[in-house]
Amino acid sequence: MIEVNSLKKVFGDTTVLESIDFSVEKGEVVCLVGPSGSGKTTLLRCLNLLETPDGGTVTIGKKTMAFDGSGRVKKRDVNDMRTYTGMVFQGFHLFPHRTVMENIIEAPLTVQGRNRAELVREGEELLGKVGMLEHKDKYPDALSGGQQQRAAIARALMMQPEVMLFDEPTSALDPQTVGEVLRVMESLASEGLTMVIVTHEMNFARRVADKVLFMDGGYIVESGTPADVLENPKEARTREFLQLLEE
């Protein structure tokens, strides 16, 4: 489903991603862990081209793009690539001037030109699934962080992506609302949705991930099953990081 080869990203004169290789199979859940500044967000953003990679190739679904370092990409290619992915941000980024329902039907309505009544029906079903149906007519400002994030997940799902990208979806939440978001993600995983998740929730990763990638300094230092990477890490840096998290 995802195939990344020799991916490179440079900001100014600092290389943030240095030859990244990994792949994600259909239906797999991959958790991306690592210290702050290691390039996790940048890697995720390279997958849906919010950042333009400076080298390597990315394949998602049937779309492959190669990057030559010019920083130039065709709009057409970017659009094609983005049809495969949905993204959930640490800060939700719901549209504040639209209700939950309006938020989630916005893109299918304007981008795909689909029928509103049909979308509302679909939206209600989806909101029910993420436990947000009763809040469908509220504005984001009136919701808790956990509720906003669940709405944001529904919004991304409405575009029927084949892969969902999550960038620390629970890091901006009050502790008491973290669980409700993780539960929604877990149920998506059990339905077989392909997901790439940047997270510091190690218990979640242990339970849900098929594969864990540990990143540090722009490299994937170690990868494998949660048992391999989180319980018996081979690399010293991985051990250090996990120890720090436990403290």
Partner 1 sequence: MIEWFRDIQWEHLFDPELAWESLPFLMQGLQITMLIALAGMVFSLLLGLVLAMGRMSKYRLLRWPARMYISFMRGTPLLVFLFILYYGLPVIGVQFPSAIVAGIVGISMNFAAYSAEVIRSAIMSVPRGQWESAASLQMNYWQTMRRVIIPQATRIALPPTTNIFLDIVKGTSLVSVITVHELLYSSRLVAAQSWDAMTMYITAALIYWAVCVVISYFQERLEVRYSRYLSKR
Nearest approach in angstroms of CB 36 to partner 1 is: 19
Q: What, of partner 1, ligand ADP, Mg ion, none, does residue 120 touch, CB below 5 to 8 Å by kind?
A: none
Q: For the window 106-125, what string marks contact with partner 1 as x by the rule CB under 8 A?
A: xx--xx--------------
Q: Can residue 36 be called a binding residue for ligand ADP (CB under 6 A)? A: yes
Is the CA virtual torsion 67, 107, 98, 182 positive or negative? Answer: negative
Contact positions with Mg ion (CB under 5 A) in 50-109: none
Q: For the window 12-31, what string marks contact with ligand ADP as x by the rule CB under 6 A?
A: ----x---------------
Bridge partner list, 194: 163
Q: Can residue 41 be called a binding residue for Mg ion (CB under 5 A)? A: yes
Asked whether the beta carbons of 61 and 36 are under 8 A apart, the reply is no
Distance between CA atoms of residues 201 and 172, nearest Å:
13
What is the distance between the terminal CA atoms of the chain, rounded to a whole angstrom? 36
Kindly tell me which of 154 and 212 has the beta carbon lying closer to partner 1: 154
**How many residues bind partner 1, per CB under 8 A?**
29
Q: Phi then psi for 238, rounded to 5 degrees?
A: -65, -45
Distance between CA atoms of residues 124 and 116, nearest Å:
12
Q: Can residue 170 be called a binding residue for Mg ion (CB under 5 A)? A: no
Which three-class secondary structure state does DSSP give residue 79?
helix
Write the burial class of residue 224 (CB in 10 Å: 0-12 exposed, 13-18 middle, 19+ buried): middle
Residues that bind partner 1 (CB under 8 A): 48, 50, 75, 79, 82-83, 85-87, 89, 91, 93-98, 106-107, 110-111, 139-142, 152, 155-156, 159
Q: Summarize as ranges the residues that interact with Mg ion (CB under 5 A).
A: 41
Residues interacting with ligand ADP, by CB under 6 A? 11, 16, 34, 36-42
